């Protein structure tokens, strides 16, 4: 955006407020807002509109300083589903109108930083716009089934030692048991994702129970950390298209399966990961097996020696993951259930 400028005309001082491409006001000048349809914001992309709803739920909880008992209620708030409906671009973010709800809010403003990669770049301040990222030397390590009271803290120490970050897909019942460990995961600069309540096979339990498992786990993570997780990883990688639509969170799969759960052997874990990992890979491991956690230091050192940078899933996907889609690697995604 251009900065505020001043121009002398006919002896009078005229203050010019300049705007970006779509009339988003300069920060600090709250008097102006611009109405825009969700079709314009998303280029008529239903996945992007679902991402706006996801970010709006987070903001409702934050703005109302809600306790975890209110997480289920936020999924009942009427949010935009039609492309011809309008939001308003303001100095602070996108103002979303809400249907009558138990939070007693008529609207909520979602900050632009939470809409990066979710709405078109032209509607974002320049510092929040996504830019192309080279992923040929990026790898995301991910760990499932925790938190474990002993092994997860040990792994966090390893990540801190080598100054790398990872993404943890946690089981809700374990988060409830060890909330302090989930907080430590985030405190270390890592990401938390949802891995169901008790590791049920979504394909076997159906859409309604799948959604209930996801919301229950989101509630546990929110209670532990004060934030909803962005991603879901379905146990066994099983998810239907209907479940993907119902969840309204990006689905993260993997391109490298370490099979550490089968080996339970440190050296085999190392060999498996090193053999299959390429630039843009999402690596699947588990932080509930001692052999897996023991393998991580060597894996990190060898990947770094090959010139790879270890990043979170969000960094690998350039903050552009959308609900209803499942991501296998940096440039490998498809509709959930396919």
Count of other CB atoms within 10 angstroms of residue 33: 18
180: left (phi > 0), else alpha (psi -120 to 50), else beta? alpha
Active-site residue identified among 47, 165, 286, 289: 286
Alpha-carbon distance of 275 to 268, in angstroms, equals: 10
Q: Could you write out the DSSP letters of every residue in 162-229?
A: TT---EEEE-HHHHHH-HHHHHHHHHTT-EEEE--SS---HHHH-HHHHHHHHHHHHHHHHHHHSS--
Catalytic: 144?
A: yes
Q: Tokens for 66?
A: 């809600």
Catalytic: 165?
A: no
| Beta-bridge mates of residue 206 | none
Active-site residue identified among 144, 148, 269, 287: 144
Q: Which of 271, 278, 272, 268 is nearest to 307 (CA)?
A: 278
Q: Which of 80, 101, 97 is nearest to 88 (CA)?
A: 97
| Active site amino acids | 144, 286
């Amino acid at each position: 955006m251009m900065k505020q400028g001043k121009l002398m005309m006919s002896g009078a001082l005229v203050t010019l407020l300049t705007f970006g491409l779509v009339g988003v006001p300069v920060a600090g000048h709250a008097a102006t807002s611009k109405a825009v349809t969700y079709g314009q914001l998303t280029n008529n992309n239903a996945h992007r509109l679902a991402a706006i709803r996801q970010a709006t739920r987070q903001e409702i909880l934050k703005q109302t300083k809600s306790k975890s008992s209110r997480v289920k209620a936020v999924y009942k708030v009427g949010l935009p589903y039609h492309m011809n409906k309008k939001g308003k671009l303001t100095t602070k973010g996108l103002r979303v109108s809400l249907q009558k709800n138990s939070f007693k809010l008529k609207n909520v403003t979602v900050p632009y930083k939470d809409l990066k990669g979710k709405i078109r770049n032209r509607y974002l301040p320049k510092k929040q716009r996504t830019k192309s990222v080279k992923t040929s030397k990026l790898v995301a390590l991910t760990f499932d089934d925790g938190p474990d009271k002993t092994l997860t803290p040990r792994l966090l120490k390893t990540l801190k030692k080598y100054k790398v970050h990872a993404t943890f897909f946690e089981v809700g019942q374990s988060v409830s048991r060890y909330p302090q460990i989930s907080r430590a995961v985030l405190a270390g600069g890592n990401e938390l994702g949802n891995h169901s309540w008790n590791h049920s096979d979504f394909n076997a339990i159906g859409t309604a129970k799948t959604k209930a498992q996801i919301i229950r786990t989101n509630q546990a993570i929110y209670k532990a950390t004060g934030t909803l997780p962005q991603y879901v990883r379905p146990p066994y990688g099983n998810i239907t298209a209907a479940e993907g639509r119902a969840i309204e969170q990006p689905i993260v799969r993997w391109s490298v399966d370490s099979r550490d759960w089968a080996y339970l052997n440190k050296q085999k874990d190392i060999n498996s990961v090193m053999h299959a990992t390429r630039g843009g890979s999402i690596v699947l491991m588990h932080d509930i097996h001692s052999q897996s956690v023991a393998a991580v230091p060597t894996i990190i050192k060898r990947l770094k020696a090959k010139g790879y940078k270890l990043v979170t899933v969000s960094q690998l996907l350039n903050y552009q993951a959308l609900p209803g889609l499942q991501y296998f690697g940096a440039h490998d995604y498809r509709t959930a259930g396919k």
